[in-house]
Structure 1
Amino acid sequence: MSSVRMDKWLWAARFFKTRALASKACELGRVDWKKGEMTWQPAKAARDVHEGDMLKIKNDSGEFQIEVLGLSEVRGPAAVTQGLYRETDESKAARAAVVEAKKAIPVYERVWESGRPTKRDRRVMNRLRGRQGG
């Protein structure tokens, strides 16, 4: 096998749960493709993926920049599918920086004693949010 459809490969490499989601991501411009020294181009679901191609993939887990090392049309175990691609060092560093930035954001939550805010608690929250009334 010398090539595989983009949506099949993304599904087989476990970037998306279904082929339909992989196809939709291509349609929405969340997958970019590059071969050799070319510039990045939006990938279509029907585009053929070859070994050595570079891909930029945006999904719920973050933004990946990978090199295609192997081809597969079937979805196998996660340990096997990780051998289909290699993530670049810059991509790993960027995703780690995003995770650290999210951890640095303070979370303001109040744990309610009774499980639900009382009328008095709701009035205090409204005052803090700048809402009138209450």
Structure 2
Amino acid sequence: MSDAPSEEIRVDIWLWRARFFRTRALATDYVSRKGIRITRNGQTRKTDKAGLRVSAGDVLTFYKAKAIETVEVLQIGERRGPAIEAQTLYRRIDASA
């Protein structure tokens, strides 16, 4: 059994906290309309459910600003902070690697 409980958060809230979207409503709408791909434990699936929970180690892939973003969730964060704080929540993954 793990020492710490698994911390999870709704994907729309995480995208908002990580500052990929200006408002939580925009993040929720995006996930519902376009969907995102989530890779967890080596398995990838597409979802359009904004309430799907993500945790550290998950890889999210979505279309943003005319480019495909692939990011690894490093932390779930406690709040929507400044951009410097938001950048500590994820690591960009180069698609060509």
Please report the TM-score for the alignment, with normalisation by the length of structure 2. Answer: 0.83
Deviations 1:80-120 (A, max 9, x none): 11010011122xx5xxxxxxxxxxxxxxxxxxxxxxxxxxx
Task: Give ranges in structure 1 of 5+ residues lacking alignment.
Answer: 94-134
Decide which structure has the larger Cα Rg and report it: 1
Of structures 1 and 2, the one with the larger relative CO (CA 8 A, separation 6+) is 2
Maintained 8 Å contact 1:52/1:69: yes
Count how many residue pairs are aligned between Structure 1 and Structure 2.
92
More helix by share: 1
Displacement of 1:73 in angstroms is 4.6
> Over aligned residues, Cα RMSD in angstroms?
1.9
Report the identity percentage.
37
Q: Does 1:44 align with 2:53?
A: no
Please report the TM-score for the alignment, with normalisation by the length of structure 1. Answer: 0.62
Instruction: Provide the residue aligned with 1:13 in structure 2.
Output: 18
Task: Give ranges in structure 2 of 5+ residues lacking alignment.
Answer: 1-5
Q: Aligned with 1:89: secondary structure?
A: coil
Displacement of 1:37 in angstroms is 1.2
More strand by share: 2
